[in-house]
Amino acid sequence: MPKIDLNHLELLTGRLPPQLATYTKGLTDRIQTNRVGDAAGLTQFGVNRTILPPGTGTSLRHWHMNEDEFVIVMSGIATLVDDAGEHPLYAGDCAGFKAGVANGHSILNKSEHDVILFEIGTRADEENGYYSDVDLQVKTYRRGVDKNYEFTTRDAAPYIAPNGPPFLKKTCKAEPAQRPGWTFPNAVAWVMTKTKLRSTALRSWRETSLPFIEISNSAAVNKSTLWACIIIYLLVSR
C-alpha cells in the first residue's frame, strides 16, 4: 500500500557518519529521523522526516555537486543559514538547493520548540559534497540505500579528525612512594616528630639550612635528641 504510517516507522537518532560527527557533536547527535523514502521503496530520491530539537541543526553548512535538495517545514520555526545570512522558515515554508550551486546551507533550530521538516534529495551514485566553514569535503559512493564516504581536506589531503576519540588510558600500578632523601635536617625533623616535640620547633628546623636550630624558650632539644639525629643521619646516608 503506497500510504505510509509514520507512527510505525523506526525513529533513528543521529544521522551523520562518525568522520563528520567530530565536527557536529552537539549539533546533530540529537536529531531524530524517519526514512520515509526507504519505507516507500524509492530509489531515485530520498525523503526523510526530521525532528530538530532546540539547539540542533541538520548539518554543517554544505553544498552538493550532483544532488538537488529540497526542504519543507511542517511545524515550528526553523532558521535557514546560507551564504547570504539567516532566513526564518515557518510552517509551510520551503527551500530548494540546486546541485552544483556553491551556496553552503544548513537548517538550524534556534527556537524553544521542536521543528519538524521533510528533506528530499537526489540519490546520485557518486557525489561530491563541500563544507563552507571547515576544511573538509566528502566523496560519496552509493550502492542502493547504502553509502560509503571518503573524507578529505579541500586540497584532497587525508582527513584527520581534529578531536578524535580519547585514547584509552593504560591502567598501571602506582609507583611506590619514594623515601625522601635523608639529610641531617630531615633526620632531626624525623626524630622531633617521633619524640612529639613542639611543631613550632619542627617548622623552625625545616625553614633553616643551618646545622642548628633556633628554638623558642618554650621548646628545647636536649643532647640525647641531637645525638639520635646524628646517628640516624649517619646510618641512612651511608
Per-residue confidence of the chain (238 residues) as pLDDT tens digits? Answer: 688 999 889 999 877 777 677 678 788 889 999 999 999 999 899 999 999 999 999 999 999 999 999 999 999 999 999 999 999 999 999 999 999 999 999 999 999 999 999 999 999 999 999 999 988 899 988 776 677 888 888 888 887 766 543 322 222 233 333 444 445 555 555 555 555 444 444 444 444 443 433 333 334 445 566 666 666 656 655 5
Query: From residue 6, how far is each of 10, 11, 28, 68 by CA, in Å?
Result: 9, 9, 21, 24
Q: Which pLDDT belongs to residue 106?
A: 96
Report domain extents, the chain. Answer: 6-152, 184-236
Distant-in-sequence, close-in-space partners of 14: CB < 8 Å, separation ≥ 6: 21, 28, 29, 31
Pick the CATH number of 6-152 from 3.40.50.80, 2.60.120.10, 1.10.1240.10, 3.30.70.260: 2.60.120.10
Mapped onto helix, strand or coil, the DSSP state of residue 227 is: helix
Q: Map grid coordinates 559534497 to a residue.
A: 129
* CA gap 93, 88 in Å, rounded: 9
> For strand 69-75 and strand 94-97, is the pairing parallel, antiparallel, or unpaired?
antiparallel
Q: Which pLDDT belongs to residue 28?
A: 87
pTM: 0.65
Looking from the CA of 196 toward its CB, the CA atoms found within 13 Å total: 0
Q: Which pLDDT belongs to residue 64?
A: 96
Q: Which pLDDT belongs to residue 202?
A: 42
Other beta carbons within 10 angstroms of residue 108's beta carbon come to: 20
